[in-house]
Amino acid sequence: MSTAIAFDWSPSDIGYITTTQPGLRTLIVGAGEAGRALARDLKHVDSFGLAPIGFLDDDESKQVVRRLPVLGTLHDLVAVATAQRIEVVVLAIPGLPWSTVHSMATAASRVGASVRHLPSFVSLLQRDVVGTDMHDLQAGSLIGRHEMHVVSPGVLATLQGRRVLVTGAGGSIGSELCRQVQGFEPSELLMLDHDESNLQRLLLELSGEAMLDTADIIVADVRDRERMNQIMRDRQPEIVFHAAALKHLPMLERFPCEGVKSNVKGTANVVQAALDHGVKRFVLISTDKAADPTSVLGATKQLAELVVKSSAGTSAIVSAVRFGNVLGSRGSLLSVLSEQLRNGEAVTVTHPDVTRYFMTIEEAVGLVLEAARMATGGETFVLDMGKPVRIVDLVTNFAHQMMLGDVNVRYTGLRPGEKLHEALFSEAELRVSTEHPRIYCTEQAEFPNGFDELLAGLYKAADHNAPKDVWQIMSRLLPNYSCSNGIPDLSIAAPYPDDY
Residues known to be catalytic: 289
Residues 6 or more apart whose Cβ sits within 8 Å of residue 100: 74
Cα(468)–Cα(462) distance, integer angstroms: 10
CB 149 within 8 A of CB 404: no
Q: What are the backbone angles phi and psi of residue 314, rounded to the nearest 5°?
A: -90, -165
* Helix (H), strand (E) at residue 88: strand 88-91
Name the E strands within 152-307: 163-167, 188-193, 217-219, 239-242, 281-287
Exposure b/e, 343-358, CB count within 10 A at least 16 = b? eeeebebeeeebbbbb
Angle at CA 136, nearest 5°, toward 135 and 140? 155
Between CA 1 and CA 118 the distance in angstroms is 18
- Beta strand pairing call for 432-433 and 358-360: unpaired
Contact partners, residue 122, CB within 8 Å, separation at least 6: none
Task: Measure the CA–CA gap between 300 and 410, rounded to whole angstroms.
Answer: 30
Residue from 332, 266, 264 nearest 300 by CA: 264
N- to C-terminal Cα distance for the chain? Answer: 71
40-48 own/partner pairs: CB under 8 Å, 24+ apart? 40/66, 41/129, 41/130, 41/131, 42/131, 45/131, 46/21, 46/22, 47/138, 47/141, 48/23, 48/131, 48/132, 48/138
Burial of 444 (0-12, 13-18, 19+ CB in 10 A): middle
The alpha carbons of the chain give a radius of gyration, in whole angstroms, of 24
